[in-house]
Amino acid sequence: MTINTIDILAILGVILFGIPHGALDWELVKHSDSQPKLMRFLCFYLGFTAFGLFLWIMVPTATLLFFLLITAGHFGRADPFGLAVLDVHNHFLKTANILFQGGAVSVFLPWVHWSTVEPLFSALDANTIAIAAYGFPAVSLWLLSFMCTVCFGISLKKVGILLGFAAYYALHSFLNPLFTFALFFCLLHSTPHYLKASEHIGTPATKPNKSFWVNTVCAWVLVILAFAFFDNLADAIAPLLSAVFAILFALTLPHMIIVDILLPKRFLSWRITA
């Protein structure tokens, strides 16, 4: 498998702008806890990160499938397409809305680009036959979520999104899935999340505090260390892909617990369910 300039730009985008989007997690915890304890937070965060790396190394196929599953929920809860998840009061339609939006990159993207994505998954040491076996029910569920979201409470925005997906499907042979993922992750997920977190803690988005930079540098160091660990792989792109997505998955575990479980219990602004 070869790597091109667009792939490199996509991976760099994920490293520079995507992975650090959880760097404000400690500040969020401090604002949600009257007596925050840094050591307890570090043990929690580092423990789940280490556990995530262990899973990625020991059971890569199951871990990749789990990663695709949880990101569908995590990305969808953030409402990347602006479909007002919070205002959907029917629980079935709310779930469909979340799965449709989050599954845009964890289900739709691998499905339409399977011939290109399969070698990428293989580079991550995953069993692509097993992943493909789970692909049909996942795609069916995503399409059902898509139809429910678009058809119930139809609007001009939803029609535009429908046409956008149709256009992407028609042109997908000319598009790069890794670059599309990077654009979605960095622009539609990481940036809005960072802005929301900055607003919540009362810090100007253009002037993040020191802890943000410390945590960001630590995340980048983890990527470098992971790259050194995976560097014994023969393929040129395999160590880089494995390092980036292993760290992304490992950091996602504690990050999701904080922003999808802890914060919604403490603040109305983080809730998407009644």
What pLDDT digit, counting tens, does each position of 88-104 carry?
788 888 899 999 999 99
With a cut of 50, say whether residue 273 has pLDDT above it: no
Cα–Cα distance between 55 and 246 in angstroms, integer?
9
Mean of per-residue pLDDT scores for the chain: 88
Cα–Cα distance between 20 and 208 in angstroms, integer?
12
pLDDT at site 30: 86
The whole-number average pLDDT for the span 228-240 is 72
Residues spanned by the domain of 15: 5-270
More confident residue, 241 or 54: 54
pLDDT at site 232: 66
Q: What spatial distance separates the first Cα and last Cα of the chain, rounded to whole Å? A: 47
Cα–Cα distance between 98 and 254 in angstroms, integer?
20
Per the CB < 8 A criterion, the answer to whether 96 and 75 are in contact is: no
Per the CB < 8 A criterion, the answer to whether 246 and 125 are in contact is: no
pLDDT at site 221: 93
Element (H, E) at 69: helix 60-77
Q: How many domains does the structure of the chain reveal?
A: 1
Cα–Cα distance between 90 and 257 in angstroms, integer?
24
Confidence of residue 236 (pLDDT cuts 50, 70, 90): low
With a cut of 60, say whether residue 155 has pLDDT above it: yes
With a cut of 70, say whether residue 115 has pLDDT above it: yes
pLDDT at site 216: 94
Strand segments (E) across 42-104: none
pLDDT at site 20: 86
The pTM of the full predicted model, rounded to 2 decimals, is 0.89
With a cut of 90, say whether residue 228 has pLDDT above it: no
Confidence of residue 274 (pLDDT cuts 50, 70, 90): very low
More confident residue, 209 or 142: 142
Confidence of residue 181 (pLDDT cuts 50, 70, 90): very high
φ and ψ of 26, to 5 deg: -65, -40
Confidence of residue 219 (pLDDT cuts 50, 70, 90): very high
229: left (phi over 0), alpha (psi -120 to 50) or beta: alpha
φ and ψ of 219, to 5 deg: -65, -40
Per the CB < 8 A criterion, the answer to whether 230 and 239 are in contact is: yes
The whole-number average pLDDT for the span 142-161 is 90
The whole-number average pLDDT for the span 70-74 is 92
Per the CB < 8 A criterion, the answer to whether 16 and 201 are in contact is: no
Per the CB < 8 A criterion, the answer to whether 148 and 130 are in contact is: no
Token reading at 269: 């602004």
